[in-house]
Amino acid sequence: MNRRQVKVYPRFERFWHWTQMALIVLLAVTGLALNGTHHAIGFKPAVMLHSIAALTLLTVWIFSTFWLFTTGTWRQFVPRLEGMLAVARFYAWGVFRGEDHPYRKTMWRKHNPLQAATYFALKWAVFPAIWASGLAYLGYNLWEDVPNAGWWLALVANIHLFAAYAVITFVVLHLYLLTVGHGFRHHVKPMLTGFDEVELTPEQEAYLEQNEPWRLKA
């Protein structure tokens, strides 16, 4: 296996990542204002900004989901149990002892097992919950006449809030993990340039040199 600088994050994936990050931050700030956690933004402006950011992010996610499945990139997010305990142990214990990360990024497997499992849970549980509850909340006037509408509205609001706090927790942990190992700059740079160091088999390296040389940094 050879370690090479390979463009593993294409332009759309980087655009999707940074756009999603900015919109999630805006949603968190406006959502906490709506919840009464802070008063830096008025209620009406917070509602407007929260709704616009939510619908924009939903549009981005629709396009990104289409891209994931048409390019086959969705396979990167399928969790595997193999190596997961070793990675979890590293983050909980080994990183504080200066141990090397047990996972080696490969061409077709950018995410370590713990990352893949986390992203899988977000995409198939947390995000659907926050979108379904958010849209139901936004369209309350369409179903306000159903029996026990007030009870259902409270349930929808609590599901939305719980899912939102789950996303915020993920963001905080994500930022923390960017500081471990080689440091923040080392982890963020690939999502800016697209290039990251991965292990390639001789066959993969030969294929890229022959068919996709632009993906290899000299």
User: Would you kindly state where each structural domain of the chain is located, as residue ranges?
Assistant: 2-213
Q: Which pLDDT does position 183 carry in this prediction?
A: 77
For residue 119, name the pLDDT band (cuts at 50, 70, 90). very high
Of 69, 70, 79, the C-alpha closest to 120 is 79
Among 3.10.20.30, 1.10.10.200, 3.40.50.2000, 1.20.950.20, what is the CATH number of 2-213?
A: 1.20.950.20
The answer, yes or no, to whether residue 73 has pLDDT greater than 90, is no
Asked whether the beta carbons of 171 and 29 are under 8 A apart, the reply is no
Distance of CA 28 to the CA centre of its chain: 15
Show the 3-state SS of the chain: CEEEEEECCCHHHHHHHHHHHHHHHHHHHHHHHHCCCCCCCCHHHHHHHHHHHHHHHHHHHHHHHHHHHHHCHHHHHCCCCCCHHHHHHHHHCHHHHCCCCCCCCECCECCCHHHHHHHHHHHHHHHHHHHHHHHHHHCHHHCCCCCCHHHHHHHHHHHHHHHHHHHHHHHHHHHHHCCCCCCHHHHHHHHHHCEEEEEECHHHHHHHHHHCHHHECC
Q: Which pLDDT does position 33 carry in this prediction?
A: 95
What value does the mean pLDDT take over residues 98-122? 87
CA-to-CA separations, 41 to 2, 52, 175, in angstroms, rounded: 52, 15, 25
Q: Which pLDDT does position 80 carry in this prediction?
A: 87
Q: Which pLDDT does position 181 carry in this prediction?
A: 72
For residue 3, name the pLDDT band (cuts at 50, 70, 90). confident
The answer, yes or no, to whether residue 172 has pLDDT greater than 90, is yes
In angstroms, the CA 165 to CA 110 distance is 27
The answer, yes or no, to whether residue 110 has pLDDT greater than 90, is no
The answer, yes or no, to whether residue 101 has pLDDT greater than 90, is no
Residue 106, strand partner residues: 109, 199
For residue 186, name the pLDDT band (cuts at 50, 70, 90). confident
Q: Which pLDDT does position 206 carry in this prediction?
A: 92
The fraction of the chain above a pLDDT of 70, given in percent, is 100
